Structure 1
Amino acid sequence: MRRRGSASIAANPVLIGAATILVIVVAVFLAYNANSGLPFVPTYSLKVNLPNAANLVKGNEVRVGGARVGLVDSIDPVNHPDGSVTARLSLKLETTIKPLPKDSTVLVRSKSALGLKYVEITKGTSKQGFADGATVPLGQATPKPVEFDEVLSTFDARTRAASRTNLKEFGTALAGRGTDLNQAIQSLNPALRNLVPVMRNLASPASKLARLFPALERTASETAPVAATQASLFVNLDTTFRALAQVARPYIQDSITGGVPAQDAAIRALPVQRPFLLNTQRFFADLRPGVRSLRTAAPILSSALVVGTGTLRRSVALNRRLKPTFEALRRFATDPMVSLGVNDLSNTAKILGPPIAFLKPTQTVCNYATLWFRNVSSLLSVGDTNGTGQRFIIVATPQGPNSEGGTSSQPANGPLKDNFLHTNPYPNTAAPGETQECEAGNETYIAGQKVIGNVPGNQGLTTETTKIDRSR
């Protein structure tokens, strides 16, 4: 038989209810203070300076490597002497990460698209760590976070309008070109295969490709002040290409198609044309003095062109009238007998060449043909009271042995001084192979001496009306 005072607590409904209420109150208290840390649990406190709290709120999580290691206890603004404002966070961290290396970095990141944030700590490798209650400097709040609203703000009205235009233009450009795209993709295989050594060369330190991008950055910074001018350039290019689009087919297309054969022909022909171009250059250099003289001759040339215009108009009728003449010349040229006659004339000219070359100085140097005709006319027109020069008189020859007037055994040779023969049947006339003199009619009479043939000495190239320049 059991005693009444020793009854179980479970049999007392009041005690059970009181215990349940106590458990609930403790659970609510712990849940309420969970964001501030559990009571009676040791923590590792740090302060962190950030350029911007980035919409953090008290109680946001602190994570290391994606694992929760603490929470944000408070957020306070910090005013600086230069007027700037930064944020200072008080963090309550688990003691498992104590001490945090001093080269660790801090970043505020988004936890969801709704704007919930958390603090991410990237642990460093330094052997020195932050003491409890220390402050992480502002310089270790890197990299600068990009907020989701900043990303969304890039798609403003102008950007959206430009994106629509790009989609429309690219769609128009690619429409109906499926076959061309397939051929391009098919051609990428050898291109990519050949791209491997190219990229290997670009990756080599000897290519100094790393300098390219800083140089591009400097170039961009220099071109930024003229961005408006460049924008107008693209607007003008759009106008130009719209105009070219009207003649793209077939004119530009044909020029591109024929460009390769034209270049091949140029490669073959230009080396051959180089001497001609060089001669042309020298020709125009030689023409410069004449072109300068054209300035004074321009009025005369202008009048000549005016007269020549009418002449050219009348030349059409002349060409028609000359047609029978040229047809006759063509028939004459095709006649086989003509070629025989031309050959005979050529042979005749070859045969007559040496005699004419021998006789030519008789006139061109000594002027004998002209003097002969002049003297012939004077013979019949010039005279005196007894008549003209064409008259007959008795000329008595000297008498004596071997004289010209009687029988002689040899040419007249004296003894009187006038009884000496002077004859020159072949006088020099400056012909090839002869002494350069005009001897006929210029011989000096040598008294008391027989002279047969050329007279001693050079009689010169002077005739009665001509005087030849010896320096020519």
Structure 2
Amino acid sequence: MTVARGAALAALLLVVAVVAIVLLSGGGGEQYRLVFQTAGQLVRGNDVQIGGRRVGSVESIELTDNNLAEVKISVKEPYAPLHEGTTATIRLSSLSSVANRYIELSPGPNNAPKLAANSLLGVERTTSVVDIDQLFNTFDERTRRGLQDLIQGSATQYAGRTREIGEASKYFSPFLSSTNNLVRELSSDTATLEQALVSTSRVMSSVAERRDELSALIGSLNTMMGAIATENSGLAEALDELPGTLREANVTFVDLRSTLDDLDPLVNASKPATKNLARFFAEFRPLVDEATPTFTDLSEFVNTAGPNNDITDIVRQLPKLQQVGSPSFKHSVDAMRQGQPVVDFFRPYTPDLVGWLRSFGQATANYDANGHYARALPIFGAFQYAQNADGSQVLNPVSPSQRLEGIRGDDRRRCPGAASQARPDGSNPYVAPGGDCDPADTPTGP
């Protein structure tokens, strides 16, 4: 090697060393001490970030005299020194490794006094991470066992079907769009929908009022089918029972006239839906052609040699079903009548539900604001919105003893549209006539 090449190589190494020192040193920094209730599996060398950018690292983790975690961090310039009002939160970027923890700093306002080097931020200024095992520990043993069975059952259910699941996921977005369109159509003509529900309720009421006649008809049909299913000599017995059946059917058909009158409003409301029946039947024709073998084997399905293996045996069990099912009609009518107030209460909230379905696909994303793959990170009321005397808006940390207060929902009586801030035109929140919601129950903040 010549002297010139040696000098050039030395100069290159010197430049690389200078660049490395400038890039890695970060121009110096300050050290601070943070006290957490738990270090949350932090390790030395974990990042310290502000707004998703690395500004320092974890230097050491020690245990205090009162069994708290004291974490010493270093913050590089120009982000140091920090100011009073700074808060710290332990976060995890993913659940794949215990080392994917970092400390996120929320700096105090620049007009606040600066924090001296080696200053201490107590637990009132810090928030520990909630690990998934801590969340599971809040469940009782029965709930944990049920969750374990659910996860294992899901794994068994989808084992070997990954390709089919991938193909099915392509239809999830169209499903949401179709559901959104259906709900929009239902909400656009609530009068017709209400009329259809009322007409259906009247039909069910009329059927329930004539349950005795229907029960007698079913009993007679059961006797007739049982006679037909026996040997040919039993046909005479079936014919003997037929006059009684016809008499019972005559009474039922006479009473059916009033039921048909109640069906007229439903039929009139259904007429607009018949415009596309021609196209429906054209597309339905291939299904009918494929169903021909099913009807060919219907005789075997009706009467197969052996006990308890065909529809004849099923019909013989209908009287027992009638005894159990008759009281259910009355209870169903009562349930519909008692559920009407619930429907009346829920109807004003239909725009809120439709808005949620419309915006659901737009509100989700695969990556969060820090560029990490999105994971569930439950943080229970760690901050509270507040406004300073000078008009600035900040988020103040909530003490650990009060963080779970925000989870309670039994004291909410929000009106329709109150999930978002009130509009200047006063269109929300909406107080429905006779509603018992609280129009003052609105979200905080601007």
TM-score (norm 1): 0.31
User: Which structure is larger by alpha-carbon Rg, 1 or 2?
Assistant: 1
TM-score (norm 2): 0.32
